[in-house]
């Protein structure tokens, strides 16, 4: 049996600011070691971002809200067709993404998710829904069927839920209702096999695009078409990852970025092989997306980072494996002691690394709870 060695290198880099390969002109203060010329360029850029880019983006954001509100008013008098709903969603998402400074390159359009099936992607921000929907061509009769958790945080209020249901197909899950979850999953899979494409993020949490977190296995069933979508960001122009405590803080920082640069690849459809189970299929799709995005995959999920009970389970697993190794032979004891991370050390590493993030953005998608 392989030894469990969850070091800080597995998860810690995934939940901080996105790493860059060179110094950037982002932020609100220059670096201390910059010379006078570099600081001057920085402050000129900051003035441009704060007094030109940000007001323009606020105007675009408000325009997107007004547009979708006016479209919602029409639903009080008539029912929109699928093509009309898709057009409204595309225009809204493109206005919204413009307000976030999005510069996106959508590649391999021949592989764009189709009916029926599930579109799965790695995940940086709640805005990924709008970003992916914005890539839907005008004239399409469908985009994505979006699912979300029904809980009172930032954008998810009853008014928004009602408006979304009028303008596009949507399913809502009550986050605290455990009795609803299995039935909800069954409904999602039923829709995925019949209609779709359903847009889901099987990582369950946002990360900074340095790795692809472990995928949840719930949706990777037989006879389900899976459409992988790989997202790769260029953080030198602006970090799209949501690491702030409040979504409003994230919006302000995003609007102050130079841009949020995404490269989005639609990948060929995949189905589960006869030799695979759900876990193996989920792992294969995770690897496919990671390779396409040019980043590595992680053997652990975000729940290990954010949830104390998951770390306790991992700690007990490490203890059990080390105890089993001790019983097998004294040579194994020596090997384990010198090369693996002890349960207590593992706890210390995660506690020290996680403390500043423990109350950070927890964006659990549907599969996290199954």
Distance CA 215, CA 300 (A): 9
pLDDT at 14 (0 to 100): 87
**Strand boundaries in the chain, DSSP class E:** 102-107, 118-121, 145-150, 170-174, 198-200, 211-212, 226-234, 260-266, 296-297
The model's pLDDT over 73-91, given as tens digits with 9 standing for 90+, comes to 888 888 888 889 899 999 9
C-alpha pair distances (Å), 193 with each of 22, 187, 223, 277? 45, 10, 7, 18
Give me the residues of the chain with pLDDT under 50, please. 1-9, 151-157, 332-340, 355-370
Domain range summary for the chain, segments of one domain joined by +: 10-26+38-304
Beta carbons within 10 angstroms of residue 181's beta carbon: 16
Residue that the structure tokens 């089993």 belong to: 324
Provide the percentage of residues in the chain whose pLDDT is more than 70. Answer: 76
Provide the percentage of residues in the chain whose pLDDT is more than 90. Answer: 43
- Terminal CA-to-CA distance of the chain, rounded, Å? 26
Nearest to 227 by CA among 287, 170, 271, 292: 271
Q: List own/partner pairs for 174-179 with CB under 8 A and 24 or more apart.
A: 174/150, 175/149, 175/150, 175/151, 175/364, 175/369, 176/151
Query: Hey, what are 148's tokens?
Result: 């979300």
pLDDT at 358 (0 to 100): 42
């Amino acid at each position: 049996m392989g030894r469990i060695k969850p070091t800080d290198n597995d998860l810690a880099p995934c939940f901080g600011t996105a790493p860059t390969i060179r110094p950037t002109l982002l932020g609100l203060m220059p670096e201390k070691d910059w010379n006078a010329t570099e600081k001057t360029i920085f402050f000129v850029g900051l003035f441009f971002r704060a007094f030109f880019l940000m007001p323009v983006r606020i105007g675009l954001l408000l325009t997107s809200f007004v547009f979708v509100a006016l479209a919602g008013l029409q639903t009080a008098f008539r029912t929109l067709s699928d093509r009309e709903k898709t057009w409204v969603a595309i225009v809204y998402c493109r206005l919204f993404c413009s307000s976030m400074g999005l510069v996106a390159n959508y590649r391999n359009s021949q592989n764009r998710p189709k009916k029926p099936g599930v579109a799965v992607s790695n995940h940086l921000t709640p805005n990924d829904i709008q970003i992916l929907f914005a890539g839907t061509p005008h004239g399409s009769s469908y985009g994505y069927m979006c699912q979300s958790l029904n809980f009172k945080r930032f954008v998810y209020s009853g008014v928004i839920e009602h408006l979304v249901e009028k303008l596009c197909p949507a399913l809502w899950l009550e986050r605290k209702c455990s009795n609803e979850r299995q039935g909800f999953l069954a409904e999602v899979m039923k829709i995925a096999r019949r209609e779709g494409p359903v847009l889901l993020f099987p990582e369950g949490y946002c990360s900074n695009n340095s790795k692809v977190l472990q995928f949840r296995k719930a949706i990777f069933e037989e006879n389900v078409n899976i459409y992988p979508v790989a997202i790769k960001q260029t953080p030198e122009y602006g970090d799209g990852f949501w690491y702030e405590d409040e979504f409003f803080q994230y919006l302000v920082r995003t609007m102050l970025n130079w841009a949020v640069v995404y490269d989005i690849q639609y990948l060929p459809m995949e189905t589960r092989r006869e030799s695979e189970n759900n876990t193996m299929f989920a792992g294969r799709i995770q690897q496919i997306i990671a390779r396409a995005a040019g980043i590595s995959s992680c053997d652990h999920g975000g729940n290990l980072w954010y949830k104390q009970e998951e770390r306790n389970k991992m700690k007990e697993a490490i203890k059990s494996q080390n105890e089993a190794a001790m019983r097998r032979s004294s040579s194994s004891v020596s090997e384990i002691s010198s090369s693996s991370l002890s349960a207590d050390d593992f706890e210390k590493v995660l506690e020290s690394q996680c403390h500043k993030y423990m109350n950070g953005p927890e964006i659990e998608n549907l599969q996290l709870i199954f």
